[in-house]
Amino acid sequence: MKKTIVFILITLIILILVGCRKDNINLGDADMSEPNELPSENNNIQIDPIKDRIKSMTLEEKIGQLLIVGFEGTEINNEIVNFIEELKVGGFILFSRNIEDENKTLKLLNNIKEANSNNDIPLFLSIDEEGGRVSRLPKTFTRLPESVKLGKKNNKDISYNYGKILGERVKALGFNLDFAPVLDINSNPKNPVIGNRSFGNTTDIVVSNGIQVMLGIRDTDTIPAVKHFPGHGDTSMDSHVNLPIVNKSMEELESMELNPFIRAIEEDVDMIMVAHILYPAIDKEYPSTMSQKVIQNLLRDQLGYKGVIVSDDMTMGAIVENYSLEEASLRFIKSGGDIALICHGKDNPRKVMEYIKESVDTGNLNEKDIDEKVYRILKLKEKYNLEDKIVELNDLEGLNIETKKLIEEINK
C-alpha cells in the first residue's frame, strides 16, 4: 500500500515538471519569433518634432536662435524688423532705453510679436529685472527692495514670494525670460558691481534665498536665468568696464562660489548666465565666457548641467576691450555656450552671425554642434509654451498692492 502511494506521488511530480518544461519551451519559442515579425501599422514610432523642425531649418535660421539682441528705441522700427526677418534672431533684451511707460512697453512687445508672426519659432523676450537698483520696469511699478534685504530677513517664504512677484510683473508686460536672480556671493566688500544685488556674503544665505527667488519666478511660467557663473562676488573690477581676475583655487571655488549654482542645477534650473571673469586656476588664458574649461569641462561635464547656457553681454568692456566681438562670441559657442547676448550695436548681431556661419563653412565649427544647441533652446521654448501671443495689462494696481504687502513683510 505504501509503495503504491509513493509511486503515485512520484508520477504526479514528473507530470508537473514536464508540463512546466513544455510551457517554458513554448514561451521561449514565442519570444524568439518576435524579432522576425515586421512592425505592424499600429506600432507607435516615437518622432521628436523638435529634431524634425531642426532638420528643416537653414543654417542661418539655426545661428539666429543662438542670439538674443538689444536694440535702440521705444517703438517697433526697421532695426527690429531686420533682426527678425533677416537674421531670424532667437530673442530680444530690453533695457531702460527701450522702456518709457507700461503702455508703450506693452505695445512695443506686442508689435515685436506681430513682426515675428511669419516665423513659427517664438521669441525670447528678456529683461534684467532683479529688483533693487537693477530694475528696468516703468516707474509705475512699485520698486522692490534689493536682494540683500531678503538675505538679512532670511525667510524662504518671503524670498519665494519675491520671485513670484518678479515673474508676475515682467510677464504682465509680455516678457518671458528674466535674467535673475543673482547667485553671486558678495564676499569682496570692494566689489563695484555686485554689492547689494547679492543676497549676502555667505553660501548659506545666498543658497537659501536665491534658490527660492528662482523657484518663485519659474512658478509664474517665466524663465529665470541665474547669474553670473562661476561667481562674480569676489571681484574688485566691473566687467562692464574691463576684465576682472579672481585668483582663487579650485578648492576655494568649490567651497563657496560654485555652491549656489550646484543647488540651482539640482533644482533643474533652465538657464545659467556665464560671467566675463578670468579664473586662472581653471583657465589661465580665457575668461569664463570664452573658456571650454569653464563651460564644457566644469559646468557641463563636472557639474552635469544640461540646460541652456547664455553669455553675459558680449559687448561689455571685459570682452571688447580685450578681444574682437566676433571671435569672442564664436569661442563662447565653441566652448559649450548656447546663446550669445549681443546688447549693443545695430551691426554687431549681423557681424557675429556671419562670422559663425563662415566658421561652419570652413569647418572650424561643426553644424551638428549647432543643432545640439538649437535643440536645447527650442526644447526650453516648448517647455514654457512660449508663443508670440498678444497680451493686455490687466491689473497693475493689483500687482503693486502685492508688492507693497511683500515690502511690509520684509521690513518687519
- Tell me, yes or no, whether 15 and 55 share the same domain: no
Q: Please choose, from the candidates 199, 344, 132, the residue with its C-alpha nearest in 3D space to the C-alpha of residue 352.
A: 344
In-domain check, residue 334: yes
Q: Is residue 45 part of a domain?
A: no
Residues of the chain scoring pLDDT < 50: 1-42
Q: Grid cell 520696469 — which residue?
A: 137
3-state DSSP call for residue 181? coil
| Domain contains 93 | yes
pLDDT value for 209? 98
Distance CA 242, CA 239 (A): 5
In a domain, 42, yes or no: no
- The domain of 252 spans 50-411
Q: What is the count of structural domains for the chain?
A: 2
Angle at 97 between CA 96 and CA 102, to 5 degrees: 60
Considering the domain architecture, whether residues 108 and 7 belong to the same structural domain is answered as no
- What does the pLDDT read at residue 203? 94
Specify if 328 maps to a domain: yes
Structural domain contains residue 345: yes
Instruction: Indicate whether 31 and 109 sit together in one domain.
Output: no
Residue 234 is predicted with a pLDDT of: 59
Q: For residue 382, what pLDDT is reported?
A: 97
Same domain, 11 and 119: no
Claim to verify: residue 223 and residue 372 sit in the same structural domain? yes
Closest CA to 227 of 162, 177, 156: 177
Domain with residue 241: its CATH number is 3.20.20.300
Q: Are residues 194 and 110 in the same domain?
A: yes
pLDDT of residue 20: 42
Amino acid in position 113: K
How far is 176 from 185, CA to CA, in rounded Å?
26
Do 101 and 124 belong together in one domain? yes
**Rounded to an integer, what distance in angstroms lies between the CA atom of residue 319 and that of residue 239?**
8
Helix (H, G, I), strand (E, B) or coil at 18: helix
Are residues 209 and 70 part of one domain?
yes
To which H or E segment does residue 295 belong? none
Quick check: is 319 in a domain?
yes
Question: What pLDDT, on a 0 to 100 scale, did the predictor assign at position 192?
Answer: 61
Catalytic residue among 270, 312, 313, 388: 312
Q: How many CB atoms lie within 10 A of CB 372?
A: 13
Q: What is the pLDDT of residue 237?
A: 52
Q: What tens digit of pLDDT does each residue of 133-147 get?
A: 999 999 999 999 999
Asked if the structure places residue 317 within a domain, the reply is yes
> 240 an active-site residue?
yes
Catalytic option among 204, 219, 221, 240: 240
The answer on 352 and 231 residing in a single domain is yes
Question: At 151, phi and psi to the nearest 5?
Answer: -65, -40
Question: Quick check: is 276 catalytic?
Answer: no
